[in-house]
């Protein structure tokens, strides 16, 4: 048999087994254009076409009781050599941000810290270590609450270096202050500043004969677009049994900004989003992903790794797994195995979507879908807020302003104890997770003679539920009752979400 014939036969067998077929092995490089987000604050409606691209993880800066909590990296004094002779407030907030290949110092100042919060910004935009030659940036007008203030600054433009290139970058900066009393005569102030990326990269790529729209998001807001998502190196030393992740950047494949139900920060919550990692999944095929630090070019090389697949009995799911091939997003269902390069993987998180009509309800209740059918021909009295919410969000404002259709789903996070799954070439392997879920109650901490209880819903593989919706609503809060050995009720109540 000729080699070409053997390859064709192998493809036929893979298709018959429901496994993905490897693409032709050649690399393609594409150029992505720089896009800038509109200069609007958080108070804006947030329903514009770039809302999906605003979902980033900020750089955080903290001050407690007037003392800056310096993050890892160079100290402020090593970055800024000259400051204004005097600031307007007693406790200026000094910070250092990493943008691209360099670090930039900035100082938040206040004309009236107790009543207006931090409303002035000195940022070393020209990166010369001197804040005295910078124009003072003033915060947007804002309302204030007693003891707290949230201030936002207009979009800030700066030229940075990423790799061997200089590029125009932009970001948003906001700062929250909170003042609290420690005694009748003394109060203290805490502050938290956030820096979020205000640029992204966008362009068309053609893979396997099909054109796709690709968007790169500087998800960790550090000026680079090539940061991979990784498990934190010190994760094992951290408290708890969670899987701790060092977030990198995100890549969106064929995003639809009008899709109201796909605006999540995580790949399992947004059908278009994947972590920047070794591989990217496009049309159920895997490609090696190479991105320039500036994000202006992307190279896709069809992966030569042998393929297997994973299965799960749930009707429809999106899962994030990780292992020797980095972080991978897989989507499938009870009748659709998900193709995965051969290797060893652990589960990070997932979201299962369910059919609302199949959700069990308490005795005597009707499924919401049935209630909707019965209400079709009946006039309904609704509040102004309810009608407005329906027009803006496509849902019922009285049900919590949840946009879009009334979906039913459960999301969960795996723990470090999740057993690794070995995916073999040409084989389908079970990826265990999902129902049945069992409640687990533990004492979170004691406050005097009272105990604070914590309720978790734990799945079949030990994963812990992080979100739960039934037809667009959270189920009623679970109730509890504590009884003595004799059966007498000594306490009862409800668990609260969050």
Selection from 38, 63, 43 nearest residue 53 by Cα: 38
* Residue corresponding to tokens 């990326």: 197
Terminal CA-to-CA distance of the chain, rounded, Å? 63
pLDDT at site 236: 55
**43 backbone dihedrals φ, ψ, rounded to 5°:** -75, -10
Backbone φ, ψ for residue 381 (5° rounding): -85, 120
Give the residue among 318, 315, 278, 325 at the shortest CA–CA distance from 412: 318
pLDDT at position 256: 87
- Please tell me the pTM assigned to this model: 0.81
Q: How big is the CA angle at 419 (ends 423 and 349), to the nearest 5 degrees?
A: 85
Say what the pLDDT of residue 310 is. Answer: 95
Strands 307-311 and 428-430: parallel
Q: Which pLDDT score is estimated for 105? A: 96
> What residues does 210 pair with on adjacent strands?
207
pLDDT per position in the chain (498 positions), as tens?
Answer: 444 333 333 333 333 444 554 545 578 999 999 999 999 876 554 556 688 899 999 999 998 876 666 666 789 999 999 999 999 998 899 999 999 999 999 999 999 888 888 999 999 999 999 999 999 999 998 777 767 888 999 999 999 999 888 999 999 999 999 887 777 667 788 899 999 999 999 999 998 889 999 999 999 999 999 999 998 876 554 556 888 888 999 999 999 877 766 678 899 988 899 999 999 999 989 999 999 999 999 999 999 999 999 999 998 999 999 999 999 999 998 888 999 999 999 999 999 987 655 544 333 444 444 444 444 444 444 443 333 333 333 333 333 334 445 778 899 999 999 999 999 999 999 999 999 999 998 887 777 777 778 888 999 999 999 988 888 788 888 888 888 888 899 888 888 876
pLDDT score, position 261: 66
Q: Which residues, 6+ apart, have CB-to-CB distance to 35 below 8 Å?
A: 50, 53, 199, 200, 201, 202
Closest CA to 228 of 252, 202, 246: 246
**What integer pLDDT is reported at residue 474 of this predicted model?**
81
* pLDDT value for 341: 96
Nearest to 307 by CA among 12, 7, 19, 10: 19
- 447: number of Cβ within 10 Å: 8
- Cα Rg, the chain, nearest whole Å: 26
């Amino acid at each position: 048999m000729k080699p070409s014939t053997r390859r064709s036969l192998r493809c036929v067998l893979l298709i018959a087994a429901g496994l993905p077929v490897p693409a032709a092995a050649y690399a393609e490089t594409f150029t992505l254009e720089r896009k800038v987000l509109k200069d609007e604050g958080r108070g804006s409606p947030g329903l514009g076409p770039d809302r999906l691209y605003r979902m980033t993880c900020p750089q955080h800066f903290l001050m407690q009781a007037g003392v800056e909590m310096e993050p890892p990296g160079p100290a402020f004094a090593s970055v800024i050599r000259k400051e204004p002779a005097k600031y307007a407030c007693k406790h200026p907030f000094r910070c250092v941000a990493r943008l691209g290949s360099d670090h930039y110092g900035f100082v938040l100042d206040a004309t009236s810290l107790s009543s207006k919060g931090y409303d002035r910004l000195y940022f070393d935009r020209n990166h010369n270590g001197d804040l005295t030659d910078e124009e003072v940036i003033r915060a947007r007008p804002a309302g204030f609450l007693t003891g707290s203030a949230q201030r936002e600054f207009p979009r800030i433009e700066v030229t940075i270096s990423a790799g061997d290139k200089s590029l125009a970058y932009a970001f948003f900066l906001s700062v929250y202050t909170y003042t609290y009393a420690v005694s009748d005569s003394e109060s203290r102030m805490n502050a938290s500043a956030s820096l979020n990326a205000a640029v992204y990269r966008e362009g068309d790529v053609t893979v396997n004969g099909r054109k796709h729209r690709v968007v790169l998001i500087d998800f960790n807001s550090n000026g680079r677009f090539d940061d991979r998502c990784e498990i934190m190196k010190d994760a094992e030393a951290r408290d708890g049994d969670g899987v701790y992740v060092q977030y990198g950047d995100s890549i969106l494949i064929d995003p639809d900004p009008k899709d109201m139900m796909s605006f999540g920060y995580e790949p399992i919550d947004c059908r278009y989003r994947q972590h920047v990692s070794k591989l990217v999944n496009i049309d159920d095929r895997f490609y090696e992903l190479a991105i320039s630090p500036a994000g202006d070019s992307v190279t896709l090389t069809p992966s030569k790794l042998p393929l297997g697949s994973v299965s799960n009995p749930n009707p429809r799911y999106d899962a994030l797994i990780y292992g020797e091939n980095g972080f991978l997003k897989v989507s499938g269902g009870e009748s659709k195995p998900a193709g995965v390069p051969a290797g060893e993987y652990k589960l990070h998180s997932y979201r299962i979507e369910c059919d609302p009509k199949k959700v069990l309800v308490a005795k005597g209740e009707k499924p919401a879908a049935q209630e909707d059918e019965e209400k079709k021909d009946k006039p309904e009295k609704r509040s102004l807020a309810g009608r407005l919410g329906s027009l803006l969000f496509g849902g019922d404002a009285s049900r919590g302003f949840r946009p879009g259709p009334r979906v039913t789903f459960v999301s969960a996070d795996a723990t470090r104890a999740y057993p690794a799954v070995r995916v073999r070439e040409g084989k389908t392997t079970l990826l265990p997770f999902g129902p049945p879920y069992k409640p687990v109650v533990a004492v979170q901490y004691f406050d005097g003679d009272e105990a604070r209880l914590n309720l978790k819903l734990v799945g079949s593989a030990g994963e812990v539920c992080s979100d739960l919706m039934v037809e667009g609503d959270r189920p009623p809060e679970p109730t509890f009752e504590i009884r003595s050995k004799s059966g007498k009720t000594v306490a009862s109540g409800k668990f609260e979400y969050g």
